[in-house]
């Protein structure tokens, strides 16, 4: 499963709308939508961490490629 699909699945599993997730990470619904669709820039490490925390998963679980690169910095 690709990252955008994974993010949406986790978001729906915890019962959050895109707007509610955006509020939790101090962002905008449009940004959450773009990340879920794989449009525009990927989340930066701080944003990825906030999203993962809001969804109750690890960064590596949610963003495997980003998570691995963070482990080796």
Rounded CA-CA distance 40/32 in Å is 11
Q: Please, which pLDDT band fits residue 1 given cuts at 50, 70 and 90?
A: low
Q: Residue 16 burial by CB count (10 A; 0-12/13-18/19+): exposed, middle or buried? A: middle
What are 2-60's pLDDT values in tens digits? 766 899 999 999 999 999 999 999 999 999 999 999 898 889 889 999 999 999 999 98
pLDDT of residue 65: 76
Residue scoring higher pLDDT (2 or 68) = 2
Q: Closest by alpha carbon to 45, among 26, 20, 63? A: 63
């Amino acid at each position: 499963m690709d990252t955008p699909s994974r993010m949406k699945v986790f978001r729906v599993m915890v019962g959050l709308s895109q707007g509610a997730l955006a509020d939790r990470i101090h962002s905008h619904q449009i940004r959450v939508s773009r990340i879920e669709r794989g449009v525009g820039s990927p989340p930066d490490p701080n944003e990825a961490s906030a999203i993962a925390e809001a969804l109750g998963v690890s960064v590596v679980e949610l963003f495997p490629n980003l998570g691995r690169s963070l482990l080796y910095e």
